[in-house]
Structure 1
């Protein structure tokens, strides 16, 4: 793989890591909003799941950033994005007492969030397929998740 391609993969990994590093840290620091969404989706143990989601996001985000186990982490994040998009962003939002105009805006934003999650899933599948590139821990370890051709 060319130096340019490896640099592009590094930039892509950096950009793809930010959302989960920041989101994971936020969930661990204050899980209340996430726990509320989990409760609203009808899932049990909302606070525990919020902490688990935060830990998962932080650890996988850091793994993408440094290029560690990218094939496995890429697939895990793709599945996570599809799951969270379908479960938390596919329906309409109804907040009692809110004006219709505000609910319309919130539902549009929710649809955008679902599309964002599915788009990110595609990016993580591509990353899992291509590998971490030469500028990664996987490459330093001689891991199979680095594509060299």
Structure 2
């Protein structure tokens, strides 16, 4: 398999969770806002919409390789912020795993931001 195909598979794997999570947040805003409120976040409904849009749109951008570096930086930051807000109860083993998962995904996005989306992307076709 060529490096371009491997990068494409990597983009697909990185994007799936964010596309699905963003769609879920946007189609269940009330529940998402209630969840955000449980963390005492300000304006939970606004944050729920913004988080859902970020995850969905940046996830799609990663998938198709459009404005990949920007989307990758945004999702890396999102992963770190989410880890620091929602996954700090390390006495709960699952929270520690989620914290580490978020950091690992942030690392993957930073690598993608640094090296680009590969030749099988809209960014590559646009030059």
Q: Shared topology, TM-score over 0.5?
A: yes
TM-score, scaled relative to structure 2: 0.93
- Please provide the CA RMSD for this pair: 1.5
Q: Indicate the residue corresponding to 2:19 in structure 1.
A: 21
- After TM superposition, give the deviation of residue 44 of structure 1 in Å: 1.2
The 2-side partners of 1:110 and 1:31 are apart by: 23
Q: Distance in 1 between matches of 2:12 and 2:29?
A: 25
Structure 2 runs not aligned, ≥5 long: none
Q: Structure 1 residue 34: deviation in Å? A: 2.6
SS in 2 for 1:90: coil
Calculate the TM-score normalised by the size of structure 1: 0.80
Counterparts of 1:130 and 1:34, CA distance in 2 = 34
How far apart, CA to CA, are the structure 2 residues paired with 1:88 and 1:32? 18
Q: Which has the larger radius of gyration?
A: 1
Could you tell me how far 1:32 is from its partner in structure 2? 3.4
User: Which residue pairs with 1:141 in the alignment?
Assistant: 126
**Whole-angstrom distance in 2 between the partners of 1:110 and 1:9:** 29
For residue 111 of structure 2, the aligned residue among 116, 123, 126 is: 126
The answer to whether structure 1 residue 12 and structure 2 residue 17 are counterparts is no
**Structure 1 runs, 4 residues or longer, greater than 4 Å off:** none
Checking the alignment, whether the CA contact within 8 Å between 1:23 and 1:54 is kept in structure 2 is yes
On the 8 A contact 1:37/1:88 being kept in 2, the answer is no
CA shift, 1:80, in A, is 0.6
Of 111, 121, 128 in structure 1, the residue corresponding to residue 96 of structure 2 is 111
Residue 31 (1) aligns with residue 7 (2): no
Structure 1: give runs of 5+ residues left out of the alignment.
Answer: 93-103, 143-149
**Superposed displacement of residue 134, structure 1:** 0.4
